[in-house]
Amino acid sequence: MAEPRRYIPALAPIYDRLTPFALPILRIGIGLILIPHGAQKLFGWFGGMGFEKFTALFNTLGYRPGAVWVTLVALTEFVGGILLVLGLFTRAAALALVIFMIVAVHFTSGKGFFWTAGGLEYSLLILLVGLVFLIRGGGEYSLDRRLGREL
């Protein structure tokens, strides 16, 4: 199949040069978004409630034992976010993220679509980004690629 014609052909060299950086930009961006959320739960950083208060909240929400669920969620966000930034064990981190976001989509779906009302929009977007990395891996500029290993 022939390459589609660009609307602005003069931009083709720029697109071609930047294409290899598209996945790393997305991978690093999602990782940097996840890390502070995990840090809020684990350490109380960035205005977070910390482990004990999140454990109590998870227990109240019906996720029992709360400490187990907070640990799973916080490590998925914090450690998984770091792994995504590095592009190390990318597919494993993405799988954990996808599983977590399936639960998050289910949990937030009762509040509708829009994230401004606590809906599923944001969780769904992160789920889709996680699926991209589960399918594609870390990409050209990742530690997985540098080590010559991928799951």
The pLDDT of residue 1: 82
* 1-51 pLDDT, tens digit each: 888 889 999 999 999 999 999 999 999 999 999 999 999 999 999 999 999
Q: What is the pLDDT of residue 20?
A: 94
Per residue in 131-148, pLDDT tens? 999 999 999 999 999 999
**3-state secondary structure (DSSP) of residue 7:** coil
Asked, for residue 17, whether it belongs to a domain, the answer is no
Task: Convert the pLDDT of each residue in 47-102 to its tens digit.
Answer: 999 999 999 999 999 999 999 999 999 999 999 999 999 999 999 999 999 999 99
Tokens of 11: 């931009």
> What is the DSSP track for 87-150?
TSSHHHHHHHHHHHHHHHHHHHGGG-S-GGGT-SHHHHHHHHHHHHHHHH-S-SSSHHHHHT--
Report if residue 28 sits inside a domain.
yes
What span, in angstroms and rounded, lies between the C-alpha atoms of 79 and 114? 28
Structural domain of 36: 23-147
Domains identified in the chain, total number = 1
9 within some domain: no
Residue 121 inside a domain? The answer is yes
Residue 46 region, left (φ>0) first, then alpha (ψ -120 to 50), else beta? left
Q: How far apart are CA 107 and CA 93, in angstroms?
A: 21
Peptide bond preceding 13 in cis form (omega within 30 of 0)? no
In a domain, 15, yes or no: no
Would 117 be classed as within a structural domain? yes
Give the burial string for 18-38 (b: 16+ CB within 10 Å, else e).
eeeeebbebbbebbeebbebb
In-domain check, residue 27: yes
Average pLDDT, the chain: 96
Residue 76: inside a domain: yes
